[in-house]
């Protein structure tokens, strides 16, 4: 009995300690949107990299747009460019996501909603003008991001979408630790 208790406690500690490193675990993927011509509608072209883009509430898929400030660097924009919205769905458990977004015309006019795999929602708004970097960390895994620049007079876009996919061993340790902690807590009650 004591050995079983020690094993569960060890797994809990190992899993909880792993939580701090999950955001940095696994390979990183960056999508620059440079592979497609301006005007290309984007939906499942990046499925093999673990991400889908879908229609937002405005009913349009995002498109590749020309970044006026840097004409040789295409960006992903709501359709019609630039004001509107679209969804980003991650097909695998992703615990860390970042992207650049710009060019905001007013503070607080852009909304980025982040949903984890449990359905919890966290909302962010742009806090500056020009290019801004959004970065999200979710131990429960990021399932979907809704990008909405509908309230910005000229709208906005995203570029350099970077995310990680934790390695299976890290996910196993995290899950085992959380299960161990849960079982440990339920035995004491």
Structure confidence by residue, pLDDT tens digits, 107-161 = 999 999 999 989 999 999 998 888 899 999 998 899 999 999 999 888 889 999 9
Interval 69-78: pLDDT, tens = 666 789 999 9
Report pTM.
Answer: 0.75
Instruction: Decide: 156 and 82 in contact? Cβ < 8 Å.
Output: yes
Q: If pLDDT is split at 50, 70 and 90, which confidence band does 14 have?
A: very low
Distance CA 64, CA 47 (A): 16
* pLDDT above 90 coverage of the chain, percent: 52
- Listed range (27-36, 79-88, 149-158, 167-176) with the worst mean pLDDT: 167-176
pLDDT for 182 equals: 54
Closest-CA residue to 144 (of 172, 184, 103, 116): 116
**What average pLDDT does this structure show over 85-112?**
92
Domains (range + CATH), the chain: 21-173 (2.60.120)
* pLDDT above 70 coverage of the chain, percent: 73
Instruction: Decide: 79 and 59 in contact? Cβ < 8 Å.
Output: no
Determine how many CB atoms are found less than 10 A away from the CB of residue 67.
18
- Listed range (67-71, 86-90, 162-166) with the worst mean pLDDT: 67-71
């Amino acid at each position: 009995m004591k050995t079983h208790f020690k094993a569960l406690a060890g797994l809990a500690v190992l899993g909880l300690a792993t939580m701090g490193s999950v955001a940095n675990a696994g390979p990183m993927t960056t999508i620059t949107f440079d592979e497609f011509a301006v005007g290309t509608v984007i939906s499942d072209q990046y499925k093999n990299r673990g991400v889908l883009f879908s229609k937002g509430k405005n009913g349009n898929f995002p498109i590749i747009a020309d970044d006026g400030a840097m004409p040789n660097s295409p960006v992903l924009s709501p359709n019609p460019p630039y004001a509107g919205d679209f969804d980003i769905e991650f097909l695998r458990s992703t615990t860390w996501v970042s992207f650049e977004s710009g060019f905001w015309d007013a503070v607080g006019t852009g909304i980025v909603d982040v949903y984890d795999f449990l359905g919890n929602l966290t909302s962010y708004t742009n806090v500056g003008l020009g290019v801004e970097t959004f970065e999200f960390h979710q131990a429960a895994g990021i399932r979907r991001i809704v990008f909405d620049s509908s309230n910005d007079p000229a709208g906005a876009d995203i570029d350099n979408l970077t995310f990680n996919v934790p390695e299976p061993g890290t996910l196993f340790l995290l899950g085992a630790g959380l299960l161990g902690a849960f079982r440990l807590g339920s035995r004491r009650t």
